[in-house]
Amino acid sequence: MSTQQDNSFQAIIAHAKEYGFVFPSSEIYDGLSAVYDYGPYGSELKKNIRDYWWKSMTQLHENIVGIDAAIFMHPTTWKASGHVDNFNDPMIDNKDSNKRYRVDHLIEAHAAKLEENGQTKEAETLLQEMDALLAKDDFAGLKNLIESHKIVCAISGTCNWTDVRQFNLMFDTKLGSVTDEADTIYLRPETAQGIFVNFLNVQKTARMKIPFGIAQTGKAFRNEIVARQFIFRMREFEQMEMQFFVRPGTEGEWYKYWKQARLQWHLSLGIPAEKYRYHDHVKLAHYAKEACDIEFEFPFGFKEVEGIHSRSDFDLTQHQLYSKKKMQYFDADINVATGKPYGNYIPYVIETSIGLDRMFLLIMAHAYEEETITKEDGSTDSRVIMHIPEKIAPIKLAILPLTKKDGLPEIARDLMDECKNYFRCFYEEKDAIGKRYRRQDAIGTPFCVTIDHQTKEDNTVTIRYRDSMQQERILLSQVKDIVTNAIF
Ligand code: GAP
């Protein structure tokens, strides 16, 4: 990250804390690494992003239904899914600092430094070599690569490394009071498995016909070793996942459909297309047929925000094997090639998986601007403004009586009562109006309405638009509709 990028990222983190978006967890005890709490405006924004996703998946798709599965699942789930045996990252420890690193992150950070120094070719070669070794699980080769490039620990500054080892990312805990091994259960590392194990329950009770999807949002937990970059990589985070069950042989077209549909969802929030790109996976998981990431240009570069995976019938087949329960679907549609119904099969799955916290960070990074304003007399002023898309802004409308007297608060309270059932409003009568506008800009409120003495005479108010700062006189009775039209 360049110094300028780092400064702007640090400014976003500071702003998130100062204005009640995100706080370090248990901060009075100095925080807990890679765990964060959402404050008054943060929890509102997070909920709005979640609702926007949920609506687009379920309400706008007749063939997608939702579930809310438990975080704790039968431990065999994670054996079947492969997480017990394969959800590992290669790690290396520095013997002098005892600091543990994920091998790919350590090498990537070194490559980023090479690139900053203009050694682009060397950086590319290093990453290619790393990819090849990771693909072969060649741990000795990875250690050699680190040593031959003299990659040092950021704390000790030495190149004194242990061997590379695998480290499982799942948190475990005990169920019940008896602490033998049979009671060990895991905090789910992804929400997807709650969908797979409920596949038949949902299909039967909601009478779903293939192709259909099951959507879910919820917490997931990973013991990330290198947890950094604020809420980009956390140990406790939230996912929004959808598994789309299709007839085998049609997965290619559905993969293309969801790849495109998910990017459209991002763009529907008004975020410029050039901030996004696809990253098609070259190295595929053993069950995957195709996979890609949707990447966003964060202040620290293009990084994954969402994954789209063509997962074949791997998960359902594994659960059938381990549970000994049939995971088949009966397809009564006629196959034109044979003239007979497609019959019983295990469906194939296209997954869309996005991190809610990462999407939150994306919105914060997109929205944050330190703006210099040139006034009519040529002097300058500045403001911090959050260009949060109207649909998901924490507060949609600030209602501001100019003074605390002369009946203005009463009119403002009436407007508040009229609007608060439809969208989130904020009422404030303290401080000069300019100061109040600035506070709303800083939390991303798209509309402010000021009630003044003229309101009493002609029932008009001043509406002020966040991004342009333009103000216009409108009828009090128009306020609710103007805001409602902008947020739906
Ligand atoms: N079920 C598939 C799955 O979990 P993933 O690529 O491991 O796939 C999906 O995760 C998304 O979850 C990522 O694109 C990212 O947005 C989010 N995510 C994963 N690990 C995360 C972490 N440690 N902190 C925050 N978000 C994370």
| Domain annotation for the chain: domains and CATH numbers | 3-68+203-363 (3.30.930.10), 395-487 (3.40.50.800)
d(CA 342, CA 338): 9
Q: In terms of C-beta density within 10 A (0-12 exposed, 13-18 middle, 19 or more buried), how is residue 455 classed? A: buried
Q: Which DSSP state fits 214?
A: E
353 C-beta closer than 6 A to ligand 1: yes
Task: Report which ligand 1 atom has the smallest distance to the Cα of 190.
Answer: 4
**CB of 364 closer than 8 Å to CB of 16:** yes
**How far, in Å, is the centroid of ligand 1 from the Cα of 342?**
35
Instruction: Determine if ligand 1 sits within 6 Å of the CB of residue 238.
Output: no
User: Residue 286 phi/psi, 5° resolution?
Assistant: -60, -25
Instruction: Answer yes or no: is the C-beta of 390 below 6 A from any ligand 1 atom.
Output: no
Closest CA to ligand 1's atom 9: 353
Ligand 1: centre distance to CA 26 (Å)? 24
Distance 219 CA to ligand 1 centre (A): 11
Ligand 1 centre from 221 Cα, in Å?
Answer: 10
Point out the residues of the chain with pLDDT beneath 70: 1-5, 177-182, 226-228
Q: What is the pLDDT at residue 358?
A: 98
Question: pTM for this structure?
Answer: 0.89
Q: Which long-range contacts (CB under 8 A, 24 or more apart) does 15-23 make?
A: 15/364, 15/368, 15/384, 15/386, 15/442, 16/42, 16/230, 16/364, 19/442, 19/443, 20/443, 21/45, 21/364, 21/443, 22/230, 22/231, 22/360
Residue nearest to atom 7 of ligand 1 (CA): 190
In ligand 1, which atom is closest to the CA atom of 227? 23
- Does the Cβ of 305 fall within 6 Å of ligand 1? yes
152: left (phi > 0), else alpha (psi -120 to 50), else beta? Answer: beta
Residue nearest ligand 1's atom 18 by CA: 355
State if residue 290 touches ligand 1 by the CB under 6 angstroms criterion: no
CA atoms of 66 and 279, how far apart (whole Å): 28
Does any ligand 1 atom lie closer than 6 A to the CB of residue 243?
no
Query: Is residue 239 lining ligand 1, measured as CB closer than 6 Å?
Result: yes
Query: Distance between CA atoms of 267 and 342, rounded to whole angstroms?
Result: 37
Q: Is the CB of 396 under 6 A from ligand 1?
A: no
Q: Which of 50, 226, 239 to mutate to test the pocket of ligand 1 (most atoms within 8 A of CB)?
A: 239
- Which ligand 1 atom is the nearest neighbour of the CA of 307? 14
Report the nearest atom of ligand 1 relative to the CA of 232: 25
306 lines ligand 1 (CB under 6 A): yes
Of 112, 144, 24, which is closest to residue 300 (Cα–Cα)? 112
Span from the CA of 43 to the centroid of ligand 1 (angstroms) = 20
For ligand 1, the distance from its centroid to the CA atom of residue 419, given in whole angstroms, is: 37
Could you say which DSSP state residue 183 is in? G
Taking residue 24's Cβ as centre, other Cβ atoms within 10 Å add up to: 18
233 lines ligand 1 (CB under 6 A): yes
Quote the pLDDT of residue 224.
84
Check residue 131 and give its pLDDT: 82
Give 355 Cα–ligand 1 centroid separation in angstroms. Answer: 5
298 lines ligand 1 (CB under 6 A): no
